[in-house]
A and B are shown apart, each in its own frame.
Chain A
């Protein structure tokens, strides 16, 4: 690793140092470091309760960290609200799906295109040309994004009526619509069958190539993690216990111990 690039923040899309958070005196996460380069796919694995989703919540400012620094595309997220951090170029999906259930699939995507449109409230109320132009462009873009997952035909359905797998995919489309530089996927394959998972795997790669973004994903499905991640971090009890390529992780005794210990414990 080039030492100079460590000093220069802009070399990384996501630069996290010494991150930690306490809940009620309990250390939920400590000394977490991660540097993600452009177009990298990184996996975050670990037993339940290891603190994976907490990391996503910290990266997106849903929680404020007790310690450490987070830089998204070179800008510190300290004291920023989730919507401000989103505008830095980070987008996420949620473990427990959080769609806008009662509104149409296409409007779910168009809501995420909000900052891509610029027309003012007055232009909207007076229906000025900028309103028509940008709305038309947004609809077109939303349909294109839905087409990534072949969902353009579902555009007019209420999001809540979609099957589970489709809802997970719609969450990804919605995240893409904010035009992020780094995409956080929280268990994207949860509840999917093996063939759906395989399809998802290739789509995630396509997304990276088509949209040029880094992807960090939390996943329990090892076939997916080992299949697409270039680098994997293993978390247990709020600490990184191992990191490396899928090959290295597969053979790491610490990781095996953590998972087996967990299984014995259950």
Chain B
């Protein structure tokens, strides 16, 4: 059966999605510039943005690769410090300096990811969780004890480069890259490892290589998010990137659904905005998060979205189908009555 229609054409789907992204961006810009969303509210959208990047990148390692790194905040801090130190050291025009700084943050985090991943990913079982957890702690201690990172006082005086626009752009880039990777032979190899490692090897795929790929791409985007965070807060404190921060990102992934990109996006938005919207939430935040983890695992381990991934064109096709169906049904009931 050959499927026809514009919505089934790949090129049309890409154009449609691009148009929607531009539309969304336009909408946000208008809301901000017209004052419907005030400056303070607009600023919250930046943490929402980098949390989306953090959650989706962790999802690559957890939901798609099937490993559990517990040091995502560690990669975030490494990237944050690297990019902040770079942008503080050079004096280029912001339009060049900032993207370069972010890329440096991402690359440094990715290199750390490889160094950590190499011993941990060769092993079966849960060692990765412990090693990454240990890594997060080591990084924290080291940053606290180094001079050029500002030690216990934190790194201050980072230039404020992160804008709503740059965050939006990086969110789109991260989502697209992770999506494009997943829907390719390389991404299928990563998913295959989650499903069955021995079978993956048996069809000629190096599981070690693809574990490293997934893990370092995941760390790369955590580093990018760290850079965005650094140039938004303008100061960095090693203490803010401890185990709890990693768990927070994990909660987003688990809640949204391991293996669902749209799930991570929605969960990141909700869990970033919730403490801002509900007073009193932050007091019980950690209890709620930990309960969420346990309850989700026992009752709905697939998360809210399961492995479902949103596709605009498919949804439109479904809606179209429903409309034609229901109109047919209506017609049918008319006949009967």
- Touching in the complex, A and B, CB below 8 A? yes
> Of A84-92, A210-218, A249-257, which binds chain B?
A84-92
Interface members, chain B 164-197 (any A CB < 8 Å): 177, 180-181, 184-189, 191-192, 195-196
- Check if A174 sits within 8 Å of B203, measured CB to CB: yes
**Interface core residue of B181, B196, B205 (most chain A CB under 10 Å):** B205
A132 to B183, CA, bound (A): 11
B307 CB–A CB distance under 8 Å: yes
C-alpha spacing A224/B189, complex, angstroms: 34
- CB contact list, B184-241 vs A, under 8 A: 184-189, 191-192, 195-196, 198-207, 213
Nearest-neighbor residue (CB-CB) of B217 within chain A: A121
Q: B194 CB to closest chain A CB, in angstroms?
A: 8
Tell me whether A81 and B200 are in contact in the complex, defined as CB-CB below 8 angstroms, given that A100-B195, A102-B307, A125-B180 are known contacts: no
Q: Are B204 and A124 closer than 8 Å at their CB atoms?
A: no
Which secondary structure dominates chain B's binding surface? helix
Contacts of A175 in B (CB 8 A): 202-203
Name the contact of A102 in the complex, choosing from B177, B180, B195, B199 (C-beta under 8 A).
B195
Q: Are A83 and B195 in contact, CB atoms less than 8 angstroms apart? A: no
Q: B298 to chain A: closest CB distance in Å?
A: 20
The answer to whether A86 and B203 have CB atoms under 8 Å apart is: yes
Closest to B209 in A: A83
Question: 28 A-B residue contacts at CB 8 Å?
Answer: A62-B198, A62-B202, A81-B201, A81-B206, A83-B200, A83-B201, A83-B203, A86-B202, A86-B203, A86-B204, A94-B198, A98-B196, A101-B195, A103-B192, A111-B203, A113-B185, A119-B185, A121-B181, A121-B186, A121-B213, A124-B181, A124-B185, A124-B186, A125-B181, A131-B184, A132-B10, A135-B184, A174-B199
B residues at A contact (CB < 8 Å): 10, 177, 180-181, 184-189, 191-192, 195-196, 198-207, 213, 307
The residues of A with any CB-CB pair to B shorter than 8 Å are: 60, 62, 81-83, 86-87, 91-92, 94, 98-103, 107, 110-115, 117, 119, 121, 124-127, 131-132, 134-135, 138, 174-175, 177-178
